[in-house]
Amino acid sequence: MSNIADLEKVIGYSFSNRKLLEQALSHSSYANEKKLPSGSNERLEFLGDSVLSIVVSDYLYKNLNVAEGELTKMRASLVCEKSLHIFAKEIHLGDYLLLGKGEENTGGRERPSILADAFEAVIAAIYLDGGMASAAKHIMRFMPKDIQHAKNPAFSDFKTVLQEVVQKNPEEKVEYVLIGEEGPDHNKRFVVEVRLNSQVIGKGRGRSKKEAEQLAAKEALELMGYEAQ
């Protein structure tokens, strides 16, 4: 594993509290194995997801004069696991991850879900250490330079599509519920149900909660008669 001081140079930000960055790089397999009192990067990932969303929303609002639906689709394309995996690879984030032995031996440094989650955790670490301006500066380096020509993502965000379908009936409510986890830490599968007004309309299994949610939404769309691609 590369020294995290090198990562600070790569991202162009020096931490006042480097323990935040260390935690952001600590996968649950490592935190459990080492019994870290600070825990894994999962709480930071939660916060980073929100910081990322507000920064990207602000960026799109100021640079695209399009309807809310288009803004939602663009934001989804920029903050989904596939995009975050690409961003993480740009800074070789996998080289700096702290992984348990099992995760290390099964290719965890290259796993899209782990890299995407760590990318969000690093955003949160920067936000907590240096504030929103520092976090936004870091995030903006990954945004497309010509947003006008980046409006058609090459993949589908099934959760966004499902939400748009459901929004046609304002009284309807969609929620995603984690109902189980399968397998060891280094090869875990998450099981998620998507529910419409408490009724299960789809189920998905994935290596991350986000992937499971996407697959649950995909199944729901297919059951509703929409062609999910």
Name the helix (H) or strand (E) containing 53: helix 42-63
Q: Which residue has the tokens 């998620």?
A: 192
Residues 172, 87 contacting (CB under 8 angstroms): no
- Which tens digits make up the pLDDT trace of 68-110? 878 888 888 889 888 899 999 999 999 999 999 999 999 889 9
Q: Which has more pLDDT, 79 or 153? A: 79
- Mean pLDDT score of the chain: 89
- Which tens digits make up the pLDDT trace of 190-216? 999 999 998 999 999 988 888 899 999
How is the beta sheet containing 174-182 ordered, strand by strand?
174-182, 189-196, 199-206
129 is catalytic: no
pLDDT at 155: 46
Q: How far apart are CA 121 and CA 10, in angstroms?
A: 16
103 is catalytic: no
Beta strands in 121-220 (DSSP E): 174-182, 189-196, 199-206
Residue 154, pLDDT > 70, answer no
Catalytic choice (120, 157, 193, 219)? 120
**Residue 71: Cβ-neighbour burial (10 angstroms; 0-12, 13-18, 19+):** middle
Catalytic choice (49, 81, 185, 219)? 49
Helices (H) and strands (E) in the chain, counts: 11, 3
Strand duo 174-182 + 199-206: pairing: unpaired
Question: What average pLDDT score do residues 5-24 get?
Answer: 95
Q: How confident is the model at residue 125 (pLDDT cuts 50, 70, 90)?
A: very high
Mapping DSSP to helix (H, G, I), strand (E, B) and coil, where does residue 228 land? Answer: coil
